[in-house]
Homo-oligomer: A and B are copies of this chain.
Amino acid sequence: MSTTRTDHTTQVRGVSFVAGDEVTGDAGVMRAVAAATGEAIAPGYPLLNTADLSRATEAAAAAFPILRATTPDARAGLLAAIADEIERDRDVIIARAMVESGLPEARLTGEVGRTTGQLRLFADVVRQGDHLGVRVDPALPDRTPLPRPDLRQRMVPLGPVAVFGASNFPLAFSTAGGDTASALAAGCPVVVKGHPAHPGTGELVARAVTRAVAAADLPGGIFSFVLGEGHEFGRTLVTDARIKAVGFTGSRGGGLALTAAAADRPEPIPVYAEMSSVNPVVILPGALAEHGADGARELAEGFVGSLTLGAGQFCTNPGLVFVPTGADGDAFVAAAGQAVAATTGQPMLTPAIAEAYRTGVDRLAATAGVDRIAEGSPGDGAGRPAPSLSSASSPTGEAVAEVFGSSAVVIRYDDPAALADQLANLEGQLTVTVCYAPADADAARQLLPVLEDRAGRILFNGWPTGVEVSHAMVHGGPYPATSDSRTTSVGTRAIERFQRPVCYQDVPDELLPEAVRKDNPWGLVRRIDGRLELS
Contact check, B148 vs A470: say whether CB atoms are below 8 A apart. yes
* A479 within 8 A of partner (CB): yes
| A449-492 interface with B by 8 A CB criterion | 449, 452-453, 455-462, 466, 468, 470-474, 476, 478-480, 483-488, 491-492
Contact check, A511 vs B445: say whether CB atoms are below 8 A apart. yes
Contact check, B500 vs A149: say whether CB atoms are below 8 A apart. no
Chain B positions within 8 Å of A270 at CB level: 484, 486
Contact of A151 among B470, B503, B504 (CB under 8 A): B470
* A146 within 8 A of partner (CB): yes
Contact check, B505 vs A458: say whether CB atoms are below 8 A apart. yes
Per-residue B-contact encoding for A257-274, CB less than 8 Å = 1, 0 else:
001100100011110000
* A502 within 8 A of partner (CB): yes
Residue from A136, A259, A507 with most neighbouring chain B CB atoms (10 Å): A507
Chain B positions within 8 Å of A85 at CB level: none
> With A130-B532, A486-B270, A503-B458 in contact, do A65 and B449 touch (Cβ < 8 Å)?
yes
Contact check, A505 vs B452: say whether CB atoms are below 8 A apart. no
In the complex, which residue of chain B has the Cβ closest to the Cβ of A121? Answer: B530
Contact check, B128 vs A530: say whether CB atoms are below 8 A apart. yes
Give Cα A459–Cα B512 distance, bound, in whole angstroms. Answer: 11
* A223 within 8 A of partner (CB): no
In the complex, which residue of chain B has the Cβ closest to the Cβ of A492? Answer: B530
Give Cα A488–Cα B135 distance, bound, in whole angstroms. Answer: 14
Q: For the complex formed by this chain, how many copies does it contain in all?
A: 2
Chain B positions within 8 Å of A500 at CB level: 456, 476, 478, 485-487
* A152 within 8 A of partner (CB): yes
Chain B positions within 8 Å of A267 at CB level: 427-428, 478-480
Interface residues in chain A, defined as those with a beta carbon under 8 Å from any beta carbon in chain B: 65, 68-69, 110, 124-125, 128, 130, 135-137, 145-146, 148-149, 151-153, 156, 158-159, 259-260, 263, 267-270, 427-428, 436, 438, 441, 444-445, 448-449, 452-453, 455-462, 466, 468, 470-474, 476, 478-480, 483-488, 491-493, 496-497, 499-508, 510-511, 513, 525, 527, 529-532, 534
> With A449-B68, A486-B270 in contact, do A502 and B474 touch (Cβ < 8 Å)?
yes
Chain B positions within 8 Å of A470 at CB level: 137, 148, 151, 530
Contact of A135 among B110, B448, B471, B530 (CB under 8 A): B471
Apart from A441-B511, A474-B501, what 12 extra A-B contacts exist at CB < 8 Å?
A: A125-B530, A130-B532, A135-B471, A135-B472, A137-B468, A137-B470, A151-B472, A156-B453, A448-B513, A459-B507, A460-B507, A486-B500
